[in-house]
A and B are shown apart, each in its own frame.
Chain A
């Protein structure tokens, strides 16, 4: 009984050791993939070539920045930490979506405001057209009072036939 206990204890310690070694190797050995690097790179823009995301930028500078992202990822940095690092180094203009501060607010405020104004203009126009159409449908009644004898004759004829 005692021998079985010692054997089980030995097996448990061995398994735990193997698991620990495996986990350590996995943590150190997995280099960030290109997809992981590009997932962050596409949220950043090349500070040199205008309007070109970092993941597709072909210049040497962008290649260096992608390697920086890879290095930071391998060191365990989070996506936000890497983006903050790039902003500190190269300014907020490297961000694909500018931070909501200062004049940048216009980027976030203007589109919905323009949409609301547009919707209001369309609403007003539709209402005006509907009123105009309603007005047009009652227009014949309004012309009954006309002094034009031809119109009066025509309306009398229509009334007789109707």
Chain B
């Protein structure tokens, strides 16, 4: 080792490594963005007790239903799709439950998740569903509820808070009735 190579340059002691700082800031920023995305992706569905953002459902018939105006009522929100075979297991039962509770301040809303309108309408006709149903345009409603798939059912209590969550299809009409009655009793 020569004396020349081991001696530091006179000016390098005060020079800041701006390039390295910039790279580190960029890398950390990217990691932060990825981290936030990962945390969001890992969040499960909205939990019981939380208050989901109100949404407006525009039905296939053109009517609009705003959940923000339904405070004081029990609201049953069912996410479904015509291509979803498990959804068929509970479709007729949900309609029966709707008929049973429609005069008791219980509102049923069907949110049609990433589906085609023709098939969705055929599905509704096949199972004789009469309660309001509409497409989840831009998947905004399903994103607000952070659903993982279909079917999923969320029941809002009279205070607008989430009182019951069902991931997957209900096994029977009794299960739906029990869930709604439990929310009514709260």
Chain A residues with CB under 8 Å of chain B are 47-48, 59-61, 64-65, 67-68, 87-93, 103, 106, 110, 113, 117, 120-121, 124, 135, 139, 142-143
Contact = CB atoms under 8 A, between A and B. Distances in A.
Contacts of A64: 82-83, 115-116, 119
Interface in B99-133: 114-116, 119
Chain B at the A interface: mostly helix, strand, loop or mixed?
helix
A61 B4 contact: no
Given A139-B2, A142-B2, 19 more contacts: A61-B115, A64-B82, A64-B115, A64-B116, A64-B119, A89-B137, A89-B138, A90-B114, A91-B140, A106-B33, A113-B26, A117-B23, A117-B26, A121-B23, A124-B19, A135-B4, A135-B5, A139-B5, A142-B3
A61 B81 contact: yes
A91 B135 CA distance: 12
Sorted nearest first, the 6 A-B pairs with minimum C-beta distance are A61-B83, A60-B83, A47-B114, A91-B139, A91-B138, A64-B116
Contacts of A106: 30, 33
A67 B4 contact: no
Contacts of B143: 91
Contacts of A139: 2, 4-5
Nearest to B29: A106
24 contacts: A47-B114, A59-B83, A61-B83, A61-B115, A64-B116, A64-B119, A65-B116, A68-B116, A87-B138, A88-B137, A89-B137, A90-B114, A90-B139, A92-B138, A106-B30, A110-B30, A117-B22, A120-B19, A135-B4, A135-B5, A139-B2, A142-B2, A142-B4, A143-B2
Nearest to B22: A117
A88 B26 contact: no
Nearest to B20: A121
Contacts of A135: 4-5
Contacts of B33: 103, 106
A53 to B, nearest CB: 15
Contacts of A60: 83
Contacts of B115: 61, 64
